[in-house]
């Protein structure tokens, strides 16, 4: 077969960019865009506001950020009525979704604010959130958690306390509050949908998690690549007719893909990551994060 090749591209749907846009969550979009650009991957961003339908086939990954209760209420109704079916279809088809704070709460069963009626969620995560009133301290501050065998760092600012049913957490809290400042869980995961309270914004200081999302999207769209730089790899050009591979598990997809995505020089990102860990007194974890940076640079130099 004569390979016609084309650059790789992804489309990210940004849900409610005008309503759920507090706490600098837009930095997540900028990070994904930059990390794709540095690998020759064109990431197109499409905003989806109130009243816009969500056609899952038009996107490769989705992001929904955080906001105050007063912004969440109208969004909750629109999310359920206008985007719920499309979002469920995308998630069941292993599309990577990142949902932060208020967005995370609305992908669970419900959010019960301190005042007013419950906000109905999509129930993607078997979880629920209850704001216990002004007399209960908000969960605010730097936070670090264990994610797989690495750390994630960020900043949390939420009054709602989230409790998980059957849904596993994104990670375990090392320092900070997490879902509810009681059970040590932070976030939630269902297939390739990730809910978290980590603002910061999250991805600039967690390059490994940013790449995890990119890899999942590429793997889902383009299927298995070859070694870096060869036609068909995640870093080289791509034949658009390759069969999409939806058969292997999301974990396998990401593992296979992660060996194909060229490492970047993330020394600055890992130093920022380590500085949060140090601030939280997690010195061993900070040293491990800086080792990550050195290892990634060595691999990057070896491949260049
Ligand atoms: N309004 C919600 C709460 O306070 C979410 C806040 C946010 O998105 N940071 O729990």
For every residue of 97-164, DSSP letters joined together read: EEEETHHHHHTSSEEE-SSSSPEE---SSSEEEEE--TTSPPEEEEEEEEETTEEEEEEEEESEEEEE
Q: 138's torsion region: left (phi>0), alpha (psi -120 to 50) or beta? A: beta
Q: Tell me: the pLDDT tens digits for 182-208?
A: 999 999 999 999 999 999 899 999 999
Q: What does each C-alpha distance from 34 to 31, 69, 98, 261 come to in angstroms? A: 5, 31, 17, 14
The yes-or-no answer on residue 199 being catalytic is yes
CATH classification of 9-205, choosing from 3.40.50.880, 3.30.300.30, 3.40.50.300, 3.40.605.10?
Answer: 3.40.50.880
- Is there an atom of ligand 1 within 6 Å of 68 CB? yes
Specify the pLDDT at position 253. Answer: 43
Q: Tell me: the pLDDT tens digits for 217-270?
A: 999 999 864 333 433 333 322 233 334 333 334 443 444 444 558 889 999 999
Q: State in Å, rounded, how far the first CA of the chain is from the last one.
A: 29
Per-residue pLDDT band for 124 (boundaries 50, 70, 90) equals very high
111 C-alpha vs ligand 1 centroid, how far in Å? 10
Where do the structural domains in the chain lie, given as residue ranges? 9-205, 231-303
Q: Which two tokens stand for residue 281?
A: 């007194």
Whole-angstrom distance, CA of residue 35 vs CA of residue 264:
8
* Ordered alpha helix ranges (H), the chain: 26-37, 69-78, 84-92, 102-106, 207-222, 250-258, 267-279, 283-303
Mean pLDDT of the residues in the chain: 87
Residue 138 known to bind ligand: yes
Q: Tell me: the pLDDT tens digits for 82-118?
A: 999 999 999 999 999 999 999 999 999 999 999 999 9
Considering the candidates 199, 208, 212, 273, report the single residue annotated as catalytic. Answer: 199
Whole-angstrom distance, CA of residue 36 vs CA of residue 42:
6
- Is there an atom of ligand 1 within 6 Å of 207 CB? no
Peptide bond into 201 cis (omega under 30): yes
Specify the pLDDT at position 7. Answer: 73
Specify the ligand 1 atom closest to the Cα of 67.
8
């Amino acid at each position: 077969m004569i390979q016609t090749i084309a650059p790789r591209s992804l489309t990210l749907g940004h849900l409610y960019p005008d309503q759920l846009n507090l706490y600098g969550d837009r930095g997540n979009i900028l990070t994904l865009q930059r990390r794709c650009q540095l690998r020759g991957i064109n990431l197109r961003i499409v905003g989806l506001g109130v009243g816009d339908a969500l056609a899952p086939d038009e996107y490769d990954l989705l992001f929904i950020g955080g906001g105050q209760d007063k912004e969440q209420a109208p969004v909750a109704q629109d999310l359920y009525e206008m985007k719920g079916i499309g979002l469920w279809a995308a998630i069941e088809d292993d599309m990577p979704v990142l949902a932060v704070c208020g967005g995370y709460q609305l992908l669970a069963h419900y959010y019960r604010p301190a005042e007013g009626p419950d906000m109905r969620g999509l129930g993607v995560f078997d979880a629920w959130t209850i704001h216990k009133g002004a007399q209960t301290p908000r969960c605010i501050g730097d936070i670090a958690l264990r994610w797989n065998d690495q750390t994630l760092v960020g900043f949390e600012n939420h009054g709602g306390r989230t409790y998980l049913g059957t849904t596993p957490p994104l990670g375990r809290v090392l320092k900070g509050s997490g879902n509810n400042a009681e059970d040590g869980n932070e976030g939630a995961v269902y297939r390739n949908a990730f809910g978290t309270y980590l603002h910061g914004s999250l991805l600039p200081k967690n390059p490994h998690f940013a790449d995890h999302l990119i890899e999942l999207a590429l793997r889902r769209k383009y299927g298995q690549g070859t070694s870096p730089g060869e036609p068909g790899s995640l870093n080289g050009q791509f034949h658009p007719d390759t069969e999409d591979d939806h058969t292997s598990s999301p974990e396998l997809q990401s593992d296979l893909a992660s060996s194909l995505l060229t490492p970047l020089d993330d020394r600055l990102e890992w130093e920022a990551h380590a500085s949060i860990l140090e601030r939280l007194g997690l010195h061993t974890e900070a040293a491990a994060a800086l080792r990550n940076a050195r290892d990634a640079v060595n691999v990057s130099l070896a491949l260049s």
